[in-house]
Structure 1
């Protein structure tokens, strides 16, 4: 089983590539092996998420895998911070494609006990694989050249599964997708990116980066006013990602992508489990993550 992932990507080269990218992101790239994989966010000065990325440290470059449409804004941001650094930022979106393989056992050459990032050959093509949990069970993201797509897809084996089915699986598992759930502009700790969350992407022990002071304050405080929860729809209709969630006439959060009758949402912590909320005209019940209807 595999699913095509709408993506964009950047490649950072040059002698200072690791230190430069490390200094912009929320997680600890310097501590990663080579090859290695580190999830992270890029924040604004208020500590809010601008982009989420999975960053691969490789021998000759740093590869950043992003959601669709995110590479351009992040490239512009990174270039603003190049002063004396020996780095170049390349937008590789037109050249690369990504699929997610749901079951790593189906992937020839993948070492289940090996590193999170591995280099493979599949269908005669060079492939970068990364261990990524998109469905509740870790699978493998495969990154490859667009020109190799015709020969690589048949080598994947099994059926292609629509993205909508992957969304249903990840919502059921409580795994957010920052872009697809319209969670940009929020604090990482509010939407599951904190340590212990479903998508940890922060290190509190690395050096300074944009938004780091806010992250330190939140660590000291212990928790935010909002957290990630599941909204279980009580009707057949859905709602658009980013729609306001209301409770007793007041706004208490925002809903993510509707998938399989539910969505993940950023909602106030003081909402009790089972609270009946509204997402536009649609009713829903708040569920703590880890529970199901």
Structure 2
């Protein structure tokens, strides 16, 4: 069954909105200019990614978050527990259409009537204007992960290449999971990394593929094109080191998987 992606968004606004984001999220929100967006994440105390999102500064005192997986309302509820006396309002916005529009400089933000457009280089994604999934295949090739429910609260930043996406800052002070993220950055040692792969058949996002011994790969997003079933997948390094082509198990089926590109942490 085709997967439809919609825009789950959250608005942070108030005198302390930027400071709150700086203290809670992994990216450097304080360095984000009005009219720009960055990748960022909310980590748990063990460094696992609870939420991944585009963080867009839409005014001096407001931020718009477009979640790359998960739902806005429970995310907002979880964040509200950390507001304390901060002058910030967190609002989960109604679900809106998410679609593709013309090329626009990467990391730029434009308001077009009721719609918000996030520039992604060779294409843009538009919140609230139209519904289509054309952007998904392009972003798989860029290595921009979208997290299915099975991957939420489960993966560490290196597995999603968050450092490459500049979604993790190491010089801005403390935030949840910062100690674990910094340890992985400076000491390394993580054994799972993200790849662009081609599959012998389309499978649901979140699917876990196994080799003879253990879980070997988890699919984050899968798009069936005219030529191939392309996906982003988190792959165990031990499997990747054995070569580019593998036959893995999904239930009773054998799935052929070809590793095309690997991204570092």
TM-score by length of structure 2 reads 0.82
1:117–1:128 contact (8 Å) kept in structure 2: no
1:269 equivalenced with 2:242 (yes/no) = no
Taking the aligned partners of 2:108 and 2:47, their CA distance within structure 1 comes to 28
RMSD over aligned CA atoms reads 2.7
1:128 equivalenced with 2:123 (yes/no): no
Distance 1:31 1:174, change over 3 A: closer
The whole-number CA distance in structure 1 between the counterparts of 2:160 and 2:249 is 18
Indicate the residue corresponding to 2:137 in structure 1.
168
Distance across 2 between alignment mates of 1:251 and 1:98: 32
User: In structure 1, how many angstroms separate the alpha carbons of the residues matched to 2:235 and 2:40?
Assistant: 22
For structure 2, list consecutive stretches of 5 or more residues without a partner in the other structure. none
Contact 1:181 1:264 in 2 (8 A): no
For the structure 1 residues 200 and 60, does the alpha-carbon distance in structure 2 shift closer, same or farther, using more than 3 Å as the test? closer
CA-to-partner distance for each residue in 1:124-164, whole Å, 9 max, x for gaps?
A: x25433222xxxx54223335xxxx5xxx6xxxxxx7x42x
- Other-structure match for 1:99: 99
C-alpha distance in structure 1 between counterparts of 2:79 and 2:101, whole Å: 30
Aligned residue for 1:283?
A: 255
Q: Which residue of 1 aligns with 2:169?
A: 203
Structure 1 stretches lacking a partner, 5+ long: 105-111, 154-159
Aligned counterparts of 2:180 and 2:262: Cα–Cα separation in 1? 28
Q: Is the 8 A contact 2:56 2:65 kept in 1?
A: yes
2:85 maps to: 84
Q: Please, which of 207, 216, 241 is the counterpart of residue 243 of structure 1?
A: 207
When Rg is computed on C-alpha atoms for both structures, the one with the higher figure is: 1
Residues 1-293 of structure 1: pairs in structure 2 closer than 5 A: 6-57=6-57, 58-67=59-68, 69-94=70-95, 96-104=96-104, 112=105, 116-121=107-112, 125=113, 127-132=115-120, 137-144=121-128, 149=129, 162-163=132-133, 165-171=134-140, 173-180=141-148, 182-184=150-152, 185-195=154-164, 199-234=165-200, 237-260=201-224, 261-271=229-239, 272=241, 273-280=243-250, 281-289=253-261
Displacement of 1:40 in angstroms is: 0.5
Matched pairs, number: 250
Q: TM-score, normalised by structure 1?
A: 0.75
- Gap change, CA 1:178 and 1:287, over 3 Å in 2: same
Q: In the TM superposition, what whole-angstrom CA distance separates every residue of 1:3-22 from its partner, at most 9, and x where no partner exists?
A: x9511111112211100011
Question: How far apart in 2 are the matches of 1:32 and 1:277?
Answer: 44
Separation in structure 1 between the aligned mates of residue 203 and residue 111 of structure 2, nearest angstrom: 40
